[in-house]
Amino acid sequence: MRTRDENKELKIRQKALAMVAKFGYDAFSMQRLAKEAGVSPATIYIYYKDKEDLILSLYQEESRKMADETLKGFDSLMPFSEGLRIQWINRAKYCMKYPEQMLFLEQIKLSSLHAKAWPMMGDDFRSRMKEFVTNAIKNKELVKVQVEVYWSVAFAPLYNLVRFHMAGKNMGGDAFVLTDTVMMNTLELVLKALRP
Amino acid sequence: MMNATISATVADTAIFVFKTNIRLLRDVRRVAQVLDADARIVAWNVDRQDTDHVLRVLTGTLDEAGIISLIQLAGYTCVALPD
């Protein structure tokens, strides 16, 4: 008979998140986690059925947190430029505030677990994003392109700047800081590109 | 990786974890014949991805030795994992 210990569970979750963020899901194992967290493998299995169970539970928590942060002050029926501006600010803030969690989510996206993890985010975030885009197209504020193209133009530039910022340097190794001005100037270019 | 999903945890259900040699899917099926048929077992699963092939059992009434003998009866080794 074994009992639960909330502090231990928290430590297991924090370590697991950090390990996946750093090395990826496929390299992660319960044995390695046990060593890193300073607990026995048996202890981890008190809380989770297996590696997948643990990581999916973390993904659910983290993806919902990301969604909540992204949707702060956002309304899917807003004018397109305003809605995208709020999302850029929110997404950038999330990345700066939770860099490890962001890397964790990225690692899961690239892993073999992605198909199972994706639905755990919940429908709310996706349906609001969809409504935002549909509404903008209907109002002739946004060009109609396939979703991958939209996402790549609308958000990838931001994430790339965030990546430079977090590394503290650009692609050539020169120092780089993402300021509000740089971000808003880039957003202007993106909005221009997405206009019908 | 497989099998019984853990249903709502009953207040006095205990969790036991073991190192086993339940490696392949067909081994899991063989063990399932014993464990699924036993009403004392609430839920169980084997993490086949783990090097210890960890068996995890939720039960209200069985003890460690009881589970070990069930698994041995199915033809597999089963050793309690220390804390």
What number of C-beta contacts closer than 8 Å exist between A and B?
Answer: 53
Confidence check: pLDDT of B8 > 80: no
Residue in the block written with tokens 């909005």: A191
Residue of B nearest to A29 (CA): B50
Interface test with A, best of B16, B54, B57, B64 (most A CBs within 10 A): B54
Chain A residues with CB-CB distance to B56 below 8 A = 45, 49-50
Contact B81, B61 (CB under 8 A): no
Closest CA to A136 of A191, A77, A89: A77
Residue of B50, B52, B53 for testing the chain A interface, max A β-carbons within 10 Å: B50
Q: Is A185 exposed, middle or buried (0-12, 13-18, 19+ CB in 10 A)?
A: exposed
pLDDT averaged over every residue in chain A: 94
- Interface confidence, given as ipTM, is 0.81
Q: Provide the residue count of chain B.
A: 83
Predicted confidence at residue A1, as pLDDT, reads 46
Residue B4 pLDDT level (bands cut at 50, 70, 90): very low
Residues B56, A2: Cα–Cα separation, whole Å: 12
**A79 three-class SS:** coil
3-state secondary structure at position A75 = coil
Is residue A72 very low, low, confident or very high in pLDDT (cuts 50, 70, 90)?
Answer: very high
Give the C-alpha separation, A95 to A105, whole Å.
11
**What is the tens place of the pLDDT at every residue in A87-145?**
999 999 999 999 999 999 999 999 999 999 988 888 889 999 999 999 999 999 999 99
Provide residues of A within 8 Å CB-CB of chain B: 1-2, 29-31, 40-43, 45-46, 49-52
Chain-chain contact of A40 with B51 (C-beta, under 8 angstroms): no
| pLDDT at B12 > cutoff 80 | no
- Closest approach of A103 to chain B, Cα-based (Å): 24
Place of tokens 């850029």: A88
Q: How is residue B39 written in tokens?
A: 């009403």
Q: Do A1 and B14 touch (CB under 8 A)?
A: yes
| C-alpha dist (Å) from residue A167 to A67, A140, A178 | 24, 37, 11
B15 interfaces chain A, CB cutoff of 8 Å: yes
What does the DSSP 8-state code read for residue B81? P
pLDDT of residue A3: 59
- Full-model pTM: 0.85
Say yes or no to pLDDT of A6 above 90. Answer: no
Given a cut of 70, whether residue A184 has pLDDT beyond it is yes
B51 interface with A at CB cutoff 8 Å: yes
Count CA atoms closer than 13 A to B47's CA, side-chain side: 25
What pLDDT does residue A195 have? 96
CA max distance for chain B:
33
Structure confidence at residue B20 (pLDDT): 97
Rounded CA-CA distance B80/B83 in Å is: 9
> In this model, does residue B11 exceed pLDDT 80?
no
CA distances from B9 to A44, A47, A56, A57, B80 (A): 17, 12, 19, 17, 21
Tens digit of pLDDT for each residue in A152-161? 999 999 999 9
Contacts of B61 (CB under 8 A, 6+ apart): B40
Distance CA(A174)–CA(A176), nearest Å, equals 6
User: Would you call A45 and B56 a contact, using CB atoms and an 8 Å cutoff?
Assistant: yes
To the nearest whole Å, the CA of B44 is away from the closest chain A CA by: 9
Is residue A191 predicted with pLDDT exceeding 60? yes
Mean pLDDT, range B40-59, rounded to an integer? 94
Burial code (b: 16+ CB inside 10 Å, e: under 16) for A16-44 equals bbbbbbeebbeebbbeebbeebebebbbb
